[in-house]
Amino acid sequence: MVRAKRETTGKSGRPREGGERKILVLHGPNLNLLGSREPEIYGRVTLANIHLAMESRARAAGVVIESFQSNSEGELINRIQGAATEGIEFIIINPAGYTHTSVALRDALAAVAIPFIEVHLSNIFSREPFRRHSYFSDLAVGVISGLGAEGYELALEHALRRFSGPRTVR
């Protein structure tokens, strides 16, 4: 399990007035092995590299970003449920192998009703037949598949554009 959280602050070192906008990035099973696991499919970029790039971009936009990876379905569900009470306004998720198997993870996302983008490093639609179905896509704001680590960056840019407008109350 990887947890990375850094609060973005104003020049005074305190959180900016009005509270920070918050994005949660969730990574499913085996993504902790990025960079070494089947690099011909998933690339050589590590999960730490992906998080650092996203964190840098989010910080520049004045947004707090938290990254959470787990190989455990229950831990991912608990993290999603916790997001509902923490002011998380957007989720970027790569459910990895749970994409094709986890109704429980889907139900957690539906229950919290936080908008999310589903990201996949590989193009799941051009892979084995069992990988072509996602339990999340119909709930997602969008799906980015097959663009490698750049998919995370594109999802983040979309989330940041959504934040450029006024806050909405759920």
Report the candidate in 76, 27, 74, 73 with the shortest Cα–Cα distance to residue 48.
Answer: 27
SS3 94: strand
Q: Is 135 a catalytic residue?
A: no
CB atoms within 10 A of CB 36: 10
| Residue among 27, 51, 98, 120 flagged as catalytic | 120
Q: Is 42 a catalytic residue?
A: yes
| Strand 2-5 relative to strand 63-69, pairing | antiparallel
Radius of gyration of the chain (CA): 15
CA distance 90 to 38: 29
| Residue among 27, 42, 98, 152 flagged as catalytic | 42
Report the candidate in 72, 68, 70 with the shortest Cα–Cα distance to residue 91.
Answer: 68
| Catalytic center residues | 42, 120
